[in-house]
Amino acid sequence: MTERQAIAPESDAALWNSLRRHTQARIGLGRAGSALPTRHRLELQAAHAAARDAVHSPFDPDVVASALAGAATIRVRSAAPDRLTYLQRPDLGRRLHDVDRAHLPRDGWDVVFVVADGLSSRAVHEHAAAVVRATTQRLPSDWRVAPVVLAEQARVALGDDIAHALGAGMAVVLIGERPGMSAADSLGAYLTYDPRPGRTTDADRNCLSNIRPPLGLSHTDAATKLATLMRRARDLGRTGVSLKDESTPALP
């Protein structure tokens, strides 16, 4: 072995450590033959397990209700009876369970917040209540905010059905995003003006994703952006591709 090779391991570690400051990608993992060293193989499995658990951990509406500290809540389910069905039948996850439709008080609400489990109940448990509270605080005091709807086995478009049943003019769906291996607790927010089941399309929504402090968007920043978008949506009478988030500068 030459002298240079003998000192290589130490300086390799320094090289990869300096490069890792620029990316979360799993670089410089080294090799055992052609395969990964044991430590990295197990780290990948641990990250995958966290993501899988995030998908399959049951949603506990009590966690969100208690974090909302006294705010009125209503619990609903989608038409998907269980997780297995939910994963294979997005159409059912977009539709309210018929029994639960009757629990929604129709009134002249300006907005309804829907907290939906989506693909990560962990994201919802950790972030949703804080975003609802911070956003509500930033809305004009004369806005009529419906009770927060806590929805199980829910897709984004379930918010259309809920808002329609409540007679709400706007829906904000806070939903657990598809978990990656580096982020299993990411919350998304979808804003829809005048939602109509079956007629509203994804192009009619505005989305904030990656709400996930401290690595992603903070609760307060998400709330500020959401409240701004909501006021502008009401002024314009629409959401979607024609309503841009102007709180961040556009790319040149």
The footprint of another protein (CB under 8 A) covers: 4-5, 8-9, 11-12, 14-16, 18-31, 33-36, 40, 44-45, 47-48, 51-52, 54-55, 87-91, 119, 178-184, 251-252
Q: How far is the CB of 46 from another protein (least distance, A)?
A: 12
Amino acid present at 92: L
* CB neighbour list of residue 38: distance below 8 Å, 6 or more residues apart: 32
Identify which of residues 54 and 149 has a Cβ nearer to another protein in the complex.
Answer: 54
Identify which of residues 137 and 201 has a Cβ nearer to another protein in the complex.
Answer: 201
Q: Which segments of 105-149 does DSSP mark as H helices, in order? A: 121-137
Residue 73: strand, helix, or coil:
strand
Identify which of residues 52 and 244 has a Cβ nearer to another protein in the complex.
Answer: 52
* Beta-strand pair 148-152/112-116: parallel
Q: How far is the CB of 181 from another protein (least distance, A)?
A: 5
Kindly tell me the burial class for residue 124, based on how many C-beta atoms sit within 10 Å of its own C-beta (0-12, 13-18, 19 or more): buried
Q: How far is the CB of 38 from another protein (least distance, A)?
A: 13
Q: Would you say 146 and 73 are in contact if contact means Cβ atoms under 8 Å apart?
A: no
Identify which of residues 139 and 207 has a Cβ nearer to another protein in the complex.
Answer: 207
